[in-house]
Structure 1
Amino acid sequence: MIKKVKLFIDRYHLLAADDIVVAACSGGADSLALVHILCELRSSYAIRLIVAHVDHMIRGQEAAADSDFVAEFCRQRGLSCFRTKIDVPAFVEGSGRSTEDAARMLRYRYLRQVAAEAGGAKIATGHHLDDQAETVLLHLLRGAGADGLKGMQPYSEGVIRPLLGVTREEVEDYCRRQGLSPRLDSTNLQTDYLRNSIRLELFPYLEERYNPAIKASLCRTAAIIGDEHAYIRLAAQGVWQQVVKQGESPDSLLLDKPAFVRQHVALQRELFRMVVEKKQGHLRGISFYHVEKMIEMMLYGRVGSECLLPGGLLVRKTYAGLEIGAKPCKQSSCVWDNVPEILLEVPGVTVVAELGCIVHARFIKATVTDKNLESVVLDADQITPPLMIRTRLPGDRFTPAGMKNGSKKIKDFFIDAKVAREKRSRIPIVCDAEGILWVCGFRQAERARVTHHTQKFLQLTVERREEKDGTDNG
């Protein structure tokens, strides 16, 4: 397998002489094989290899043992090993993020810190072809565009993925042949996480019932879409100067309407995404819904109308086109149109592309003690179907959990919770036929709250799309 990995590295020019590489290592099979292979190849490329490990403080003594295992593995091979502990549960409680998203974000933050302190090192992760297939299917379920469906790239934003050309089976076989004894992360067996559910439940079902080679098919699709997206981006760059102009303010860019409407819709979508990326440095939170709304605003919007994009960029319709990054008018409300009610699958998984999230609904045997603002447990017998998700509506009221009498306007609730005005119209709200049950990420209602009389428990979890990278095995 080392030869196969080396060919992949050479094909995509992932390593060069004198590179410093920080290998993310959890102690699992993927990352252990990554470190072992890079250790074998370091003399061939004349690179300096160091290792970084993060204990997320989620699995207690099991995680601490993983950290000691990685440190000893590195010591035996003369590798420097940087280790840290990050209290992810505490961060989740204060941030409202899901545990999975928070762990990923904090892990990458530490890896980039180590890479910077090492002198601008590349970060290597143990992603392989099976991870790629999971990422593509996950993005497909979320309603992603070409940028998401192209999956993970061999190199992106300082991260290299040398194992992206081999399968999980090859990685595990390599570990056996080399006498490596990877650690097992017990959370990888919990199907509460969407990615685990896809790996452990959905893929086996698809392979058995529809296509035994579904993973290879998805990876080929990702490669094709990636190549085609690269071509579309080049074409968009070619017409950039014709379409994108300086806005009315120094900090804004203008999509010129006459030049914009002459472009194919694929180029229109890419140009809009490129302008947003140029203005705020990323596309987090920007979904197909936002892109299509902007095109609609360009073609049919009222001059002077405004709205805010996720991330805080203001878009204004002018006589000349769309100005992105404009300063708001005092009179404008600057909000998106309300997202209409979307029926939730209970039990099941509902993709809410308009809000960039996925809602998981499942019946459980008892309530959970884990404090997570992205998850709620309701008394199923106190719910009046159907269950729906939407954004706020004028006049919305609910009785927050703990309030025994009366109700509160959603507007006043957001003000008291210090929610920024531009974010209020993008917060998901779960309701049934009688009204609001949960303001996602903030507070559930008193109605349908679990009590000692509850016999049927319904857990709802909102998974938000936070990053483009998908997964991290490091």
Structure 2
Amino acid sequence: MINKIKKYIIPNGLIGKDDRIIAAVSGGADSVAMLLILNELKKSLSFYLEVVHVEHGIRGEQSLSDARFVEKLCKNLEIPINIFHVDVINYAKSHGLGEEEAARILRYEKFKKVAFSRAEKSDSVKIAIAHHLEDNTETILFQMARGTGIDGVCGIEPIRHVSKNVYYIRPLLGVSRAEIERFLAEKNQDFCTDSTNSDIQYDRNRIRKNILPQLNQINNQAVLHINETANKLREIRNYFRKEADREYKKIVSIEHDKHGNEVYNININKLSECDIAIAKEVIRTTIISCAKKKKDITNKHVMAVLDLINKQTGRKVLLPYNIQAVVSYETIKVFLKNKVKENKKNVDYKDVRNVIEIKSDFFEKLEELVDGEKLIISLNDGTKSYFSVRLLHASVNPEDLIKKKYTKYLDYDKIKKGFQIRNRRSGDFIVSDSDGHHKKLKSYFIDEKVLASERDHIPLLTQDSEIIWIVGMRIGYSYRISDMTESILEIQYNGGN
């Protein structure tokens, strides 16, 4: 087992001489096995080793027991350890996330915190994660089920650059869970079992518990074959990217506007001469280069820009992260729009004196507008207060979903049947999570310490008694954007005078 891991590490360039390896150890079988193997290899491969353990605060005493187990293991192995305690439940609540996603964000934040501090004194820092063959298979199947590009079916990368001299590595990616368990049994090594791993309400657990066993009944080498296919696809993808990068340099030029912002110019004639696969990759690379990130850049956005090839000058599309692509004669210009600063002060709410019904005729007008144009809903309350609404056919920067108090993004298909704008009524509730749990508006106001004198004056967007948005506060889980969202309703409250 140890020699097999070593033979995987060296050709994939996972660990070099004098690297500082930070092993992410939860206490589970996979991470414990990884720690033992790295400890065995640190002398022959000549690297430094330490551990990070993140206690999520979800499973009470069981979670604390896991932390003590990892601490004792590291003490016996004489390996330095960093233990962090995080509050996943409150983080998930305050950021509108599920606990699984919140735990992952907080966990990786701590991994990177330690890595970045070590990177100041080390030439190369690697964060070792204990993903194995089955984990990779689960990832590939999950990505395919929800929709993905070639990167998704290539699976987990053995090594991935984070920033500067920091990387993620997966030294166990070439071994199976069964091999890991046999290794631990031979070593007579205990490990912790996370009770949430058997909960099939989580998508990955459902794949692990239900789908993989069915695939193994078809072929007991199914997991291995899926991983081998992913590796072949990764090789093809890497070659394709080199070819696309060569064309990108011929087709795309960069200039700067008067504010010093980058403007990416795509030559339409040269792009039109390319094979469709190369053309789409050139556009994808352009958007990512402008955004400085890959997340939320999908095929939908690539196709929207590609569609501009045959459009007249001035036609444009809105893209994630406030990026815009505009036709300018023989060029498509891709650039970051100047951000409009939102008023962060608390709005002095006025009564919504009458119930305002937003019906189908409003949405018909909205759908006739050019992408990005707005409609106004006046509150007729004696002030200049109003809502501005626009329809987007592109993803929204996830940061906007959290940080903007008075602008929210809703799943258009879930709201286009109509809604009301009004003040609170008896029986109002908000759906608080993915399980559909209801919370009474009164209870929400009490929990958020909203003064009783203010509660009757806060505007609400509702569908009957279900709350879409408590203006200035949270939106109902039912109306959130998901991976299935095709169109987005942006709604902004302007408090008037």
Superposed, 1:33-44 pairs within 5 Å as: 33-44=33-44
TM-score by length of 2: 0.69
Question: Which of 218, 227, 232 matches 2:226?
Answer: 218
Gaps of 5+ in 2: 162-166, 341-365, 369-373, 378-385, 391-399, 421-429, 435-459, 468-476, 484-497
Aligned residue number for residue 181 of structure 1: 190
Change (3 A) 1:38 1:93: same
- Separation in structure 2 between the aligned mates of residue 17 and residue 463 of structure 1, nearest angstrom: 46
- Is the contact between residue 153 and residue 230 of structure 2 (CA under 8 Å) also seen in structure 1? yes
3-state SS, counterpart of residue 22 of structure 2: strand
Superposed, 1:130-279 pairs within 5 Å as: 130-157=134-161, 158-208=167-217, 210-247=218-255, 249=257, 250-279=261-290
3-state SS, counterpart of residue 322 of structure 2: coil
Change (3 A) 1:397 1:116: same
Change (3 A) 1:433 1:207: farther
Question: Which of 314, 326, 332 matches 2:324?
Answer: 314
- Separation in structure 2 between the aligned mates of residue 286 and residue 247 of structure 1, nearest angstrom: 22
3-state SS, counterpart of residue 321 of structure 2: coil
3-state SS, counterpart of residue 174 of structure 2: coil
Change (3 A) 1:420 1:275: farther
Aligned residue number for residue 352 of structure 2: none
Change (3 A) 1:155 1:302: same
- Separation in structure 1 between the aligned mates of residue 140 and residue 481 of structure 2, nearest angstrom: 16
3-state SS, counterpart of residue 284 of structure 1: coil
- Is the contact between residue 24 and residue 123 of structure 1 (CA under 8 Å) also seen in structure 2? yes
1:91 deviates by: 1.3
1:215 deviates by: 1.9
Change (3 A) 1:15 1:237: same
Gaps of 5+ in 1: 331-391, 399-407, 451-458, 466-474
Question: Which of 300, 305, 308 matches 2:310?
Answer: 300
1:124 aligns with 2:128: yes
Change (3 A) 1:326 1:55: closer
Superposed, 1:354-433 pairs within 5 Å as: 411=389, 418=404, 424=409, 427-429=410-412, 431=414
1:25 deviates by: 0.4
- Is the contact between residue 431 and residue 478 of structure 2 (CA under 8 Å) also seen in structure 1? no
Q: Which amino acid aligns with 1:48?
A: Y
- Separation in structure 2 between the aligned mates of residue 326 and residue 60 of structure 1, nearest angstrom: 45
1:186 deviates by: 1.1
1:110 deviates by: 1.0
3-state SS, counterpart of residue 411 of structure 1: strand
- Is the contact between residue 323 and residue 337 of structure 2 (CA under 8 Å) also seen in structure 1? no
What is the identity percentage for the equivalent residue pairs of Structure 1 and Structure 2? 28
Q: Which amino acid aligns with 1:189?
A: S
- Separation in structure 2 between the aligned mates of residue 65 and residue 59 of structure 1, nearest angstrom: 10
3-state SS, counterpart of residue 97 of structure 2: coil
Q: Which amino acid aligns with 1:222?
A: A
1:98 deviates by: 2.4
Q: Which amino acid aligns with 2:236?
A: E
* More divergent stretch after superposition (33-42 vs 228-237): 228-237
- Separation in structure 1 between the aligned mates of residue 35 and residue 88 of structure 2, nearest angstrom: 25
Aligned residue number for residue 27 of structure 1: 27
- Is the contact between residue 244 and residue 253 of structure 1 (CA under 8 Å) also seen in structure 2? yes
Give a deviation string over 1:23-80, Cα, whole Å, max 9, x none: 0000001101010100010001111100001111111211111111111110000000
3-state SS, counterpart of residue 84 of structure 1: strand
* More divergent stretch after superposition (303-312 vs 277-286): 303-312
3-state SS, counterpart of residue 11 of structure 1: coil
Change (3 A) 1:136 1:240: same
Aligned residue number for residue 71 of structure 2: 71
Give a deviation string over 1:150-198, Cα, whole Å, max 9, x none: 1111100210100000011111111111111110111111111111111
3-state SS, counterpart of residue 18 of structure 2: coil
3-state SS, counterpart of residue 304 of structure 1: coil
- Separation in structure 2 between the aligned mates of residue 60 and residue 238 of structure 1, nearest angstrom: 54
TM-score by length of 1: 0.72
Aligned residue number for residue 108 of structure 2: 108
- Separation in structure 1 between the aligned mates of residue 196 and residue 481 of structure 2, nearest angstrom: 17
Q: Which amino acid aligns with 1:164?
A: L
| Structure exhibiting the larger radius of gyration computed from Cα positions | 2
3-state SS, counterpart of residue 315 of structure 1: strand
3-state SS, counterpart of residue 79 of structure 1: coil
Give a deviation string over 1:446-465, Cα, whole Å, max 9, x none: 54759xxxxxxxx9797957
Give the number of aligned pairs: 380
Change (3 A) 1:396 1:277: closer
